[in-house]
Structure 1
Amino acid sequence: MKSLKLVILMLALLLVMVAIRSVSSAKEEDFMFDLDQDDSIAAEAENSDQLPLLESEQPISLRGTSRFLTEAARIKVTCDKYPTVCLAKGSAGKYCCKKKCVNVRTDRLNCGACGKKCRYSEICCKGKCVNPSSDRRNCGGCGKKCQKGSLCVHGMCSYS
């Protein structure tokens, strides 16, 4: 009985070793490349009108990068230098708080003014921190009013 367990254990170890060996040999094949093909790619890159990126702008990868997938570095525009960027269509909000465009009427971290945070159980509705589980004018969410005479309990009107 002990010898049978020993044989099964040895077979399991052998299978694990074979699996590890096959994975490592597959990784070694990834580093093989054709020098002629690499030279033709370099010649095409030299003939193109695009300027090469600086070494500090090159993307970093352990496997290397493709020359066709490289992009020029984009300039990051922040609202502290250009406040009108927050007024653009598709912006997150009209106000600049800590170098980010935010909507002070709905943002929990900047509710009503930059830096004014709502508590954990509160949300920002129209620039005011409210508790949606008990506020009759914002029951369960912003603008959801309960009817006259009903209470807001656990975010639902007239729960009981």
Structure 2
Amino acid sequence: MKLLKLFFALSATIATVAALQSDHYKENSDTQRQLSLSEIQEAVTSLRGAGRVLAQQNLIANSTCNKLPRICRLKRSPGPDCCNKKCVDVKTDRFNCGMCGYKCKYTETCCKGKCVNPSFDKRHCGGCNKKCKKGEFCVYGMCSYA
């Protein structure tokens, strides 16, 4: 019986310490200093010759585009537009097609900011901007399948 009480007390102590540690971690991550665009670019270029440990510290990932909108215009950015704190390209992103928050259907893909079905669209047959020749039709993503 004493062993059971000791085990229960020990597990309660561990749970309390773990909860306090996670709160401390959140407070530290919220108080990160904001970096200017030049500091971020300098940090990215200076990491090229760095070791594996230093390269894992991705300063751009910690900065969001709602705080620094120009971060989306950097060379290795996924896109020039800022949607929901992420850099995206609204011309090709299925979840932000044409504008932030507009999702394409499951079978559709985003081409030039419009949702199209590449299985049956003559102008985007099998992928974006793959046009079928005049008189041909698109079936299952291939021009003149039959």
Q: TM-score, normalised by structure 1?
A: 0.55
Tell me which residue corresponds to 2:142: 156
Q: 2:120 aligns with which of 134, 138, 153?
A: 134
Structure 2 residues without counterparts, runs of 5 or longer: 1-23, 29-51
CA 1:74–1:145 in structure 2 vs 1: closer, same or farther (change >3 Å)?
closer
Tell me which residue corresponds to 1:61: none
Whole-Å separation in 2 of the counterparts to 1:148 and 1:73: 53
* CA RMSD across the alignment: 2.3
Whole-Å separation in 2 of the counterparts to 1:80 and 1:135: 36
Structure 1 residue 70: Cα displacement: 7.4
Q: TM-score, normalised by structure 2?
A: 0.60
Give the % identical residues.
58
Matches within 5 A, 1:94-109: 94-109=80-95
Tell me which residue corresponds to 1:89: 75
User: Which has the higher Rg, Structure 1 or Structure 2?
Assistant: 1
Whole-Å separation in 2 of the counterparts to 1:142 and 1:73: 36
Tell me which residue corresponds to 1:143: 129
Q: Does 1:112 align with 2:83?
A: no
Tell me which residue corresponds to 1:3: none
Relative contact order higher in (CA < 8 Å, ≥ 6 apart): 2
Aligned AA (1:140) = G
CA 1:159–1:129 in structure 2 vs 1: closer, same or farther (change >3 Å)?
same
Whole-Å separation in 2 of the counterparts to 1:144 and 1:74: 37
CA 1:85–1:159 in structure 2 vs 1: closer, same or farther (change >3 Å)?
same
Whole-Å separation in 1 of the counterparts to 2:140 and 2:72: 36
CA 1:111–1:70 in structure 2 vs 1: closer, same or farther (change >3 Å)?
closer
Structure 1 residue 90: Cα displacement: 0.8
Post-superposition Cα deviations, 1:29-69, rounded to whole Å, max 9, x if no partner, equal: xxxxxxxxxxxxxxxxxxxxxxxxxx847xxxxxxxxxxx9
Whole-Å separation in 1 of the counterparts to 2:101 and 2:74: 22
